[in-house]
Amino acid sequence: MGRLKSALLSRYSSRKGTDEEVKVFNPRNCEELLIGIKGAKIAKVVGALAEAEIQLVREAMEKQLAEKKIELLEDDMNVEVETEEKDTIKGEEKKDATNEQPKKDDIKQDHSKKDESKNEEEQKDQYINTGVVLSGVLISKDFDLNLLQLEDLQEFTQLSTTVVKSNMKLKIQATVSLIQWHLEQMFGSIEILQDNELSWECLIMDMVYIIVDRALSSDGLNITVEWVNFNNMADSMADSVVAILYSVDSSPVSVKLTSKSHSHSHIKEEPSDGEVSKEKVKRSAHTVSDIGSRIHRISSLLKSQFGDAITSMDSKGAKIVIGKAEATIDFQTLEVACGSRVLKDRIENVIKEDADWQPLSATSRNLDNDNDLIDRPRSELTEVELQQLEEFEFNHGPMSLIQTSMKNATPVVIYCRNNHKLIAKVKAFDRHCNLILEDVKELWTETLKNSKGKVIKTTSKERFIAKLFLRGDSVIIVLKV
């Protein structure tokens, strides 16, 4: 073994002292070795991913060239300034010869520092960093690594790809318009792909397809839910859609929307197909823009929002006290005076909503403006009035906090029934407080007890969840924006 070692060292003696130096070890038996092996590997970017990277490199090079031109112009200006300084120095040499040498040394040091900085920048310019992280599929074949997009697998690697699509068939006792209403309440706007006598099809958030077969609707609607399993978001979205569809026929809101009252005059035709009836509400009261009507509408809004916190209210203004914060509202100028910035912004937002809110007194039965639905008992209200009151409470009650957080993209704090607290952004929600959350941070505490039941230790824990579908029956409606 010794002769073999010496032969190998003599053969590769020309590489000694270089980066390619060959080291030969001949350890004894059962002796532990620690040999450093470089694990760096180079992958080649191909396909559309390489084209995009080349375009980014070109843009980065053009940007660097533009910066260099600016630096050259600045250097020329600095040279002119230095020549002027040298002229002034020469004029001062006759007066003070002792200060000449230090100034020259300072100029030389400045030039040397500039040269060093230029050399460092030239070394950095050898490598171009676009600042974009490459992500794709890494393929290892014959000790070669290729990074490419999923669409280029067939062309560059001869590998075949498949798409996994899931579907679920449901059967519910409801109408298409009722299903559409519930889906819009949860997800906002949905894309209707097809609507005819045979089928109804829609697309939700470019992920989940819902197909309703109207041809076989003699004993309920046959619904098919389809989605592509390309990420966890699609699966959670499909679960929420299925949960909503199963709750359509048993929801109390569905009963109210599909209920109809009998007309004894037999003049007005009642809808007989179970479709959601659309009541035509007169909006003449909303067109009244005199000062008295506006003050009445603002007072109603403030009552629904703050309730018992309003200590005094008249035709001139109102006073609201919440804890230590006190706010005064002037109805003539619509100005709010308050030391708390949060309470002041909340009251100003309520006053601004007066322009878009229609008074609840403007119903189809031409109720008087002074008969406010908020002050009347619910047992005296009709179905139409109850529906309008629920609509108003949904838009201006506690659920309006969720709407505000969605518009401003701010997180909310939600307290759950399992004593957990969620800090998350609301993606979508409905009237039953079914929530789709994203960027969720879950907080809770765990206690350790001894044999006697005494708490020994309390530990705070947390975890992060990308997406979460939260049912309303597991949530306590205590929200903090």
For residue range 390-437, what is the model confidence (pLDDT) as tens digits?
777 666 666 677 777 777 778 888 877 777 888 888 888 776 677 788
Higher pLDDT, 294 or 326: 326
- pLDDT, position 281: 37
State the pLDDT confidence band at 363, using cuts at 50, 70 and 90.
Answer: very low
- pLDDT, position 119: 58
State the pLDDT confidence band at 36, using cuts at 50, 70 and 90.
Answer: confident
pLDDT at residue 315 above 60?
Answer: yes
**Least confident stretch, 33-47, 75-89, 154-168, 219-233:** 75-89
- pLDDT, position 226: 93
- pLDDT, position 285: 42
- pLDDT, position 267: 46
pLDDT at residue 5 above 80?
Answer: yes
pLDDT tens sequence across 57-93: 888 888 888 888 787 777 777 776 677 676 676 666 6
State the pLDDT confidence band at 124, using cuts at 50, 70 and 90.
Answer: low
State the pLDDT confidence band at 387, using cuts at 50, 70 and 90.
Answer: confident
**Cross-strand partners of 200:** 195, 212
State the pLDDT confidence band at 300, using cuts at 50, 70 and 90.
Answer: confident
The pair of three-digit structure tokens given for residue 481, joined into one six-digit string: 């924006």
pLDDT at residue 42 above 60?
Answer: yes
- pLDDT, position 105: 55
Domain over 165-254 is classified CATH 3.40.50.1820:
no
Judge if 292-356 and 395-480 fold alike in CATH terms: no
Taking the C-alpha atoms of residue 228 and residue 247, their distance in angstroms, rounded to an integer, is 24
**Least confident stretch, 291-295, 298-302, 427-431:** 291-295
pLDDT at residue 220 above 90?
Answer: no
| Third-level CATH fold of 395-480 | SH3 type barrels. (2.30.30)
Average pLDDT value for residue range 238-248: 89
Average pLDDT value for residue range 13-42: 83
Residue in 466, 472, 469 with CA at minimum distance from that of residue 431: 472
pLDDT at residue 199 above 50?
Answer: yes
pLDDT at residue 473 above 70?
Answer: no
State the pLDDT confidence band at 255, using cuts at 50, 70 and 90.
Answer: low
Average pLDDT value for residue range 36-42: 76
Task: List the domain boundaries for the chain.
Answer: 165-254, 292-356, 395-480
Higher pLDDT, 19 or 375: 19
- pLDDT, position 111: 55
pLDDT tens sequence across 275-288: 444 443 344 444 44
- Percentage, residues of the chain above pLDDT 70: 70
State the pLDDT confidence band at 26, using cuts at 50, 70 and 90.
Answer: confident
pLDDT at residue 451 above 70?
Answer: yes
- pLDDT, position 141: 81
- pLDDT, position 415: 77
pLDDT at residue 104 above 80?
Answer: no
- pLDDT, position 434: 77
State the pLDDT confidence band at 201, using cuts at 50, 70 and 90.
Answer: very high
How confident is the prediction for the chain on average, in pLDDT?
Answer: 74
Return the CATH class of domain 292-356.
alpha beta
Question: CB of 454 within 8 A of CB of 412?
Answer: no
